[in-house]
Structure 1
Amino acid sequence: MTSVDGLWFLADEAAQRAEQAYHRTTDSYGETYLERTYEKYVSRDRFRTLANRIRHSGTPYGAHTLVHRENGELLLVRHEGVDLWVLPGGGVDGSESLRETAKRELEEEAGIEAAYRGLAMLNRVEISCQGCTTWGVLPIFRAVAETTTTVVADPDEEISAARWFDPGQLPEDTRDREDLIAAARAVA
């Protein structure tokens, strides 16, 4: 790693911001959630992109919502960019909070309004490339749907569908499928 491109400095700033976001989130929502650590090995360009996001908001991938209906079904959206079913969520805009981000993304990607009930998961994402490392938080809020008819209005045009699934029968091509099943069981 060289100091010429300043990547080490960016990684350090990002890690400090992640630490702040982690503590602010745990202070706000207590300790009744699952925690996981994910490791991502990326190119230098992708590392720079993710580290800049973390430096801005503490999170590389924004905030997401694990939302369920009264009958226990979970909402997933089809993300065409990764060709997987995922939780609704995305990046932080401006100065919005992580919970505000999750709520906005849920409305954009699925047209669902929900009552938020704290955190389902608070994940740590460790990111590495050619000797550089940093980390960020990935909060997943839990919520109960107040409306259940889905309407995809994603301005990014990444989401092609939104559907409800029984937590024990999530599609095989669901990102972090086993962790989502465990989180759904923990909040049921």
Structure 2
Amino acid sequence: MNWRQRFEPVVRPFMQAFWRLSRGTTLGVRGIVVRADGHIVLVRHTYVGGWHLPGGGVERGESVRDALIHELRDEAGVAVHGVDVIQGIHANHKRFRGDHVVVCVVREWAACESDAAGEIAETGWFDPAALPSGTTAATRARIAEFLGEAGIADTW
């Protein structure tokens, strides 16, 4: 476990308290990026364990689409082309009361340089039927929803 993974659980409650006071509601976006062979890109962050769909927060004054475009470029080296489809909007109140996550499916894209700046430890493309050990429960649930193996849940 690196220093960011040890530091994150200590700092997060203070950041969430600040976000509650300054925002009240927060919004995030995650992308299910699908390669021609059906594989999906996942990332491992340097500051929290597990494999996740790439994405991040939607900043004030930013659209969900703009956030998706820059997060996928930065985290996974994916340049979004064409129209992305919203798969679902999930309340993430377990993690932070007032937080919501929009999940988008991206099929039209091209590879590009990523700019993870120390945030991403590893990026990988995986067959949805053979996800890597450590894939988070929420990531597995979103992929099952994408595959039609489960209905779209209201909660993250």
After TM superposition, the score normalised by the length of structure 1 is 0.62
Seen in structure 2, the aligned counterparts of structure 1 residues 93 and 135 have a Cα distance that, compared at 3 Å, is: closer
For structure 2, the residue ranges without an aligned partner over 5 or more in a row are 1-11, 150-156
> Which structure has the highest helix share of the two?
1
The number of residue pairs the alignment matches comes to 136
> Which residue of 2 is the match for residue 10 of structure 1?
none
Question: Is 1:180 matched with 2:148?
Answer: no
Distance 1:54 1:168, change over 3 A: farther
Please state whether the residue corresponding to 2:84 is helix, strand or coil: strand
What is aligned with 2:153?
none
Q: How does 1:41-120 map to 2 (within 5 A)?
A: 45-52=14-21, 54-55=23-24, 58-59=26-27, 62-114=28-80, 115-120=82-87
1:141 has 2:108 as partner:
no
- The residue type paired with residue 132 of structure 2 is P
Aligned residue for 1:181, secondary structure, equals helix
The residue identity in structure 2 corresponding to 1:119 is: I
How far has the Cα of 1:103 moved from its partner? 1.1
User: 1: distance between equivalents of 2:22 and 2:77?
Assistant: 26
- Per-residue deviation, 1:44: 5.7
Percent identity among equivalent residues? 26
Give the Cα separation in 1 of the matches to 2:112 and 2:147.
23
Q: Which residue of 2 aligns with 1:121?
A: 88
Alpha-carbon distance, 1:150 to partner: 6.3
Moved over 6 A (4+): none
Q: Report the Cα offset of residue 117 of structure 1.
A: 2.7
Amino acid at match of 2:127: D
Q: Which runs of 5+ in 1 are unaligned?
A: 1-42
Q: CA deviation at 1:174?
A: 1.1
Alignment match, 2:126: 165
Stretch deviating more after TM superposition (137-146 or 108-117): 108-117
- Cα shift at 1:93: 3.2
Paired residues of 2:78 and 2:114 also in contact (CA < 8 A):
no
